[in-house]
Structure 1
Amino acid sequence: MCVGCRKRATTLELIRVVAGSDDHGPAVVPDPDGTAHGRGAHLHPTTACLDLAVRKRAFPRALRFAGGLDVTALRTMIDSGTDTTP
């Protein structure tokens, strides 16, 4: 289920993300292979679903992370249209 729009979809249609870190600190990190450790969340690879998830503060809740998470890396991947299928 997409954390942005809350619609059901197969895992092949969604991007798996995990809480990690990048240059800006705690961040939502794409996990296209689905092999990263830890709690994951799924999202449609669209800017609309990403914007909804950010507006709803869905990532900290779904990933059980206290505090804010940077979505710059995820937004860059979605905007570039990078293929996320394993």
Structure 2
Amino acid sequence: MSTGWGLTRTCIGCRQTDSRSALLRIVAGADAQGHPVLIPDPAAHAPGRGCWLHPSEECLAAAVKRRAFPRALRVSAPLDPGPVTAYLHVRDAERN
């Protein structure tokens, strides 16, 4: 039996499928200086193209190493993962 359309997504880092609730949506955006950055979208409601990532530093590192974000988000410029890294650090600190 199918779980329904749209309930599973593929992590851009490890390439494993998982439920939307287990993954973090990432969108492309710009910082205050206008440089392209990755923006975490925990509510999964930000406009624009998004990709999905397990909220772990391992999956983030794998996606950055494979240069998967620009391809998935269809952006030609390199994207700074700093805001996602900061989000993961805060999220982990709140859990501990």
TM-score by length of 1: 0.90
Q: Which of 49, 53, 56 is residue 43 of structure 1 equivalent to?
A: 53
Larger Rg: 2
What are structure 1's unaligned runs of at least 5 residues?
none
Q: Deviations over 1:17-74 (max 9, x none)?
A: 1010113610110111111111000000000000000000010000000010011010
Percent identity of equivalent pairs: 43
* 2:67 is the alignment partner of 1:81: no
Q: Which has the higher contact order (CA 8 A, sep 6+)?
A: 1
How far, CA to CA, are the matches of 2:43 and 2:90 in structure 1? 18
In the TM superposition, structure 1's runs of 4+ consecutive aligned residues that sit over 6 Å from their partners are none
Which of 52, 55, 63 is 2:65 aligned to?
55
Tell me what 1:3 maps to. 12
1:9 match: secondary structure? strand
Q: CA shift at 1:79, angstroms?
A: 1.7
State the aligned residue count: 82
**Per-residue deviation at 1:81?**
1.8
Structure 2: where are the runs of 5+ without partners? Answer: 1-9
2:69 counterpart SS class: helix
CA distance in 2 between partners of 1:8 and 1:46 (Å): 15
Q: Paired residue for 1:22, among 31, 48, 63?
A: 31
Matched with 2:75 is 65
TM-score, normalising length: structure 2? 0.81
CA RMSD of aligned residues (A): 1.1
